[in-house]
Amino acid sequence: MEIKILGTGCPNCRTLEKATRDTVDELGIDATISKEEDIMKIMAYGVMHTPALVVNEKVVSSGRIPSKNELRKLLTN
């Protein structure tokens, strides 16, 4: 699984990155997690509000930090 955190480095972006990494570790998911901070690359995903979460090149959340339970569902579906 390939996971990307899209965001310019704001506190919410860092919070989503940590929550995502923690959830991947808890669930034992085999995933590559990367952070994209280039605004042009972020906009290429059609994201206008960060932070955003991309799983296997599909934007699954944008403009907010999902709850822990929601994050689990997004990463296991």
Q: Read off the CATH number of the domain in which 49 is found.
A: 3.40.30.10
Residue 1 appears among annotated catalytic residues = no
The residue annotated as part of the active site, out of 13, 16, 24, 47, is 13
Q: What is the pLDDT of residue 77?
A: 82
Task: Please tell me whether the overall predicted TM-score, pTM, comes out greater than 0.75 for this model.
Answer: yes
For 18-53, what is each residue's pLDDT tens digit? 999 999 999 999 999 999 999 999 999 999 999 999
Report the domain count for the chain: 1
Q: Which residues contact 75 (CB under 8 A, 6 or more apart)?
A: 1, 3, 20, 23, 24, 27, 29, 31, 55
The residue annotated as part of the active site, out of 1, 8, 10, 41, is 10
The residue range of the domain holding 44 is 2-76
Residue 56 appears among annotated catalytic residues = no
